[in-house]
A and B are shown apart, each in its own frame.
Chain A
Amino acid sequence: MKAKVSLSLAEICEGLSPATCEEFQLLGKRRAYPRGFTLFRTGESCAGIFWIVSGRVRTSTGGAENISQLAQPGEILGLKEALCGEAYSLSAETNGPAEVSFVSLEDLSVFLAGHPDAAFRIVQRLSGYLGLILEHLRSALRRSSPSN
């Protein structure tokens, strides 16, 4: 199972001042993409995060257990990789005409360094995701068949 940690803009902005949220939104370079445009591929080094302004983006894990999902407007892709300095763990391709805002790693780092509240908000949201998967793990443990 590959982790899809895609926080939304609303989740990050919740609890932040409107000015900070607006500043974050203005960081990115917006661009319109046609259907089928590949934003990034699994294994490519992470250049930054992608915030979907409009349209949808199909993400896929690749490999034998390929899991495909549609990311919605507001979702931010590549955040886990940007924070961890890892290669993208998913591929992302526009599922139709889409407008996407790209924030480079450098711009993201500068923004978060200057906004401790935003950085802390991301920690809280990631913690929430971890809590969910731990509950899922507890359920899976309950359901798992007796050990072979």
Chain B
Amino acid sequence: MGSGTELKAVGRCAGCTVKSEGLFCDLGIGALQELSRIRVESSYPKGARLFEEQDAPGGIYILCQGRVKLSMTSSEGKSVILRIAEPGEVLGLHAAVSGRPYQARAETLEPSVVSFVRREDFLRFLQENPESSLRAAQQLSRNYQSACERVRSLGLAHSAEGKLAGFLLLWATKGRPSPQGTRVVLALTHEEIGQMIGLSRETVTRTMSDFQRRQLVARRGATLVIQNKDALAQFAGI
């Protein structure tokens, strides 16, 4: 499994041509063959909805290529992005395991290849393959951590600078060092960043410009360079 906008047919999991370090990508050959048997692969355009909040849990979606936005909306219409799923992640895991409705909306951010596994097949797969259960447990733990971060960013009386600085530092953990600072791809709009940290689009734009003016960050297209981590950490109170 891998990212990129040029989509490739994934084929069977055991001989996957776009394999990454995904949740189930490096299971043993027997488990991969079983997974290939029970999944159905589909391609989706940008903006496709895989599932909606409160939909009955039909199964899990394994993201083979592309990126998917997982968001939640309150009864007052306020949205928060839980996370941006990357290739290899499993979507709808909590709903499939618990049998409760999906807690989030899943929408493709770019053309994506996704494998669907029916809930009953997935539960049987987990129970017959302890290694896959452990992988599922790992992802649930990470999803839990990610949700905690979202609660934190909404619940604490952080300033806009603090919220954005905390978000950028978290995002920078996926980056690579360079002479100018940590380089990371941040292919999110200011509106999407705002939905992740509870700020309006205008506030994100204003605060980002302020950070750029102070040379804490630099942005060229989808590439962000974190130039001054210490200053951002001070804003974030870390």
Contact = CB atoms under 8 A, between A and B. Distances in A.
Specify the main secondary structure of chain B where it touches its partner.
helix
Interface string A121-136: 0111011111101101
B179 interface: no
What are the 10 tightest A-B residue pairs by CB atom distance, in nearest-first order? Answer: A119-B133, A1-B152, A147-B200, A127-B97, A126-B140, A119-B130, A116-B130, A1-B148, A141-B74, A140-B154
A2 interface: yes
Interface residues of A, number: 39
A118 to B, nearest CB: 8
Contact of A147 (B131, B150, B155, B203): B203
27 contacts: A1-B149, A2-B148, A3-B141, A5-B141, A83-B141, A85-B138, A112-B130, A116-B127, A116-B128, A117-B127, A119-B130, A119-B137, A122-B133, A123-B97, A124-B98, A127-B97, A127-B98, A130-B143, A131-B103, A133-B147, A137-B82, A137-B147, A137-B154, A138-B74, A140-B155, A141-B154, A144-B78
Nearest to B126: A120
B237 interface: yes
Given A122-B133, A133-B151, 7 more contacts: A1-B151, A3-B145, A80-B144, A116-B126, A117-B127, A120-B130, A127-B93
Contacts of B78: 141-142, 144
B134 A147 contact: no
Contacts of B199: 147-148
Query: Looking at B98, B129, B134, B198, which has the most chain A CB atoms within 10 Å of its CB?
Result: B134
Interface of A: 1-3, 5, 63-64, 80, 83-85, 112-117, 119-120, 122-124, 126-131, 133-134, 136-138, 140-144, 147-148
B87 interface: no
A133 B133 contact: no
Nearest to B198: A144
A126 B144 contact: yes
B54 to A, nearest CB: 11
B134 A130 contact: no
Contacts of A126: 137, 140-141, 144
Contact of B80 (A116, A136, A141, A148): A141
Contacts of B203: 147-148
Contacts of A114: 130
